[in-house]
């Protein structure tokens, strides 16, 4: 499999089981492939926004943590309590090797999450709310597990926002008084080396 097709390969999964299997298979090479062949900068960009709003002692959920790229950056900034959650056990096993997470949970965004309400001071999710991955409905559960006053920061492609139910879901949560938008970034090239036409935005919300 050409590395340049790996992103398309996971995107074309037919269901969550196949998606998890493909990420399990990719896990060991994911960091090197994304760095060398794609120039994946979204974890750094989302953390740049997240860290403006979230105190260092917050208990953080990294939802769709993958191999832990965001956790590694958060840890280097002094965040000390980070929980990894992902669909793929293989990705979680790689995240564990980074030595920056306190807990690891295999869960599926889009289903009910096995965390009590108000469990976290903040949630970060990078490259996960997208086509064939976690649906817009995942946001309901991310809001539920975040305590009032806590922040949720995520990356999202503008076309996915418009076309895949995110615009409606984000607006619905705001209208229902569940959260308020705090900051939205300009669109940026998230994979400037391998996929220069793919843009993401960072969204930051405060949970009410």
Ligand X SMILES: C[S@@+](CC[C@H](N)C(=O)[O-])C[C@H]1O[C@@H](n2cnc3c(N)ncnc32)[C@H](O)[C@@H]1O
- In angstroms, give the least distance from the CB of 62 to ligand X: 7
Residue carrying structure tokens 């569940």: 178
- In angstroms, give the least distance from the CB of 149 to ligand X: 24
Dihedral of CA 82/87/93/95: which sign? Answer: negative
69 versus 156: smaller Cβ distance to ligand X? 69
Residue carrying structure tokens 């309901």: 140
CB-based contacts of 120, cutoff 8 Å, min separation 6: 58, 59, 60, 61, 83, 145, 146, 147, 150
Inter-axis angle of helices 3-11 and 16-33, nearest 10: 160
Cα–Cα distance, 118 to 121 (Å, whole number)? 8
Alpha helix stretches (DSSP H) within the chain: 3-11, 16-33, 42-53, 69-76, 89-97, 138-145, 158-163, 166-175
42 versus 54: smaller Cβ distance to ligand X? 42
- In angstroms, give the least distance from the CB of 115 to ligand X: 13
70 versus 160: smaller Cβ distance to ligand X? 70
Question: What is the number of the residue whose Cβ is closest to ligand X?
Answer: 66
127 versus 150: smaller Cβ distance to ligand X? 127
Residue carrying structure tokens 């879901």: 169
Instruction: At 163, list the tokens.
Output: 């076309």
66 versus 150: smaller Cβ distance to ligand X? 66
- In angstroms, give the least distance from the CB of 204 to ligand X: 16
- In angstroms, give the least distance from the CB of 100 to ligand X: 13
Q: Which residues bind ligand X (CB under 6 A)?
A: 19, 23, 42-43, 64-66, 69-70, 86-88, 91, 108-110, 126-128, 133-134
């Amino acid at each position: 499999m050409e590395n340049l097709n790996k992103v398309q390969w996971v995107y074309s999964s037919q269901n969550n089981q196949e998606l998890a299997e493909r990420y399990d298979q990719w896990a060991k090479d994911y960091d090197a492939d994304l760095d060398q062949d794609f120039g994946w900068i979204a974890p750094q960009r989302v953390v740049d926004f997240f860290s403006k709003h979230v105190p260092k002692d917050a208990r953080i959920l990294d939802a769709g943590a993958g191999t832990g790229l965001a956790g590694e950056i958060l840890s280097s900034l002094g965040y000390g309590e980070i929980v990894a959650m992902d669909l793929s056990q293989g990705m979680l096993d790689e995240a564990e090797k980074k030595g920056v997470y306190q807990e690891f949970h295999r869960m599926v965004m889009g289903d009910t999450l096995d965390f009590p309400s108000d469990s976290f001071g903040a949630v970060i999710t990078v490259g996960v709310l997208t086509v064939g991955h976690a649906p817009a409905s995942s946001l309901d559960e991310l809001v539920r597990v975040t305590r009032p006053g806590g922040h949720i920061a995520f990356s999202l492609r503008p076309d996915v926002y418009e076309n895949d139910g995110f615009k409606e879901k984000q607006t619905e949560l705001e209208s229902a008084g569940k959260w308020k938008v705090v900051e939205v970034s300009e669109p940026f090239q998230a994979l400037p080396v391998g996929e220069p036409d793919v843009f993401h935005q960072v969204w930051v919300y405060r949970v009410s």
